Amino acid sequence: MSSDVAYKRILLKLSGEALEGKEAFGIDPDVLQRMSEEIGELVKAGVQVGLVIGGGNIFRGAKLAESGMNRVVGDHMGMLATVMNGLAMRDSLERNSIKTTLMSAMPIQGITTPYSWMEAISRLEKGEVVILSAGTGNPFFTTDSAACLRGIEIQADAVIKGTKVDGVYSADPMKDPDAVLYHELSYKEVVEKELKVMDLSAFILARDHKMPIMVFNMNKKGALMKVIRGEEEGTVIK
């Protein structure tokens, strides 16, 4: 493994919304290509990459429930949306010659591999990217919870969350021009300052298992690699 990486095995979480890119709905092929190239660089540097992708660009259970749908059904649709994003990402990674397995917490015979933590670790050790789709497999959770849960299960060194901004700020940087970017935070500071990193149940799971969380801007080229090298980029929570 290349010696200049600070993390050997990561759980990378990308939001579904980020896949939308310039499209109004669905998936922007340019975003898939750019993320595939960045993930390819990590793999070349010897980093083992587990990947959780959200589904918010297609369906979110809570949103569907607002218009009257049963929440459990809505969440099932949300989880299936993450499988569709996973299919698109696997296709893109494979077209970039990056060997990828698409696992799913909701097995779909002939299309995905059923999720197994031991199988995931074994494939990561062989240098494959492993996409962990369908969230936790349970309604009322988010893919942030899935990222922390799977990150802990596959014994990742960190959960790395890609967002649309540079990291964790004191206030919403899209709304408040005085918002300050934090480079390092403790779990305690995040809770005390009520900072928005991810939903609370996901965050508490990571905290209780001492899983470091990094937040970076996935629209900033090269930011992910800087995080992996341990350089000052985004926010580290530990």
| 235: β partners | 215
User: Is 216 annotated in some ligand binding site?
Assistant: no
Provide, rounded to whole angstroms, the least separation between the CB of residue 17 and ligand UDP. Answer: 5
Residue 231 has what DSSP assignment? Answer: -
Report CA-CA distances (Å) from 58 to 24, 79, 80: 11, 10, 9
User: Is 163 annotated in some ligand binding site?
Assistant: yes
Among residues 5, 9, 17, 107, the one that binds ligand UDP under rule CB under 6 A: 17
Site for ligand UDP in 125-144 (CB under 6 A): 135-136, 138-139, 141-143
Q: Which of 160, 139, 173, 186 is CA-nearest to residue 48?
A: 160
Query: Is 50 strand, coil or helix?
Result: strand
User: Is 46 annotated in some ligand binding site?
Assistant: no
Site for ligand UDP in 46-65 (CB under 6 A): 54-56, 60-62
Residue 54 has what DSSP assignment? Answer: -
Count CA within 13 A, CB hemisphere, residue 101: 22
Which one, 30 or 184, has the nearer CB to ligand UDP?
Answer: 30
Q: Can you read off the two tokens belonging to residue 6?
A: 């600070």
Measured CA to CA, the distance from residue 39 to residue 58 in angstroms comes to: 23
Amino acid identity, position 226: K
User: Is 157 annotated in some ligand binding site?
Assistant: no
16 binds ligand UDP (CB under 6 A): yes
Taking residues 67 to 86 in sequence order and writing x for each that binds ligand UDP by CB under 6 A, - otherwise, the string is -------xx--xx-xx----
Report the binding-site residues for ATP. 13-16, 56, 60, 163, 169, 172
Q: Which residues bind ligand UDP (CB under 6 A)?
A: 15-17, 54-56, 60-62, 74-75, 78-79, 81-82, 135-136, 138-139, 141-143, 145-146
> Where is the binding site for UMP, in residues?
55, 75, 136-143
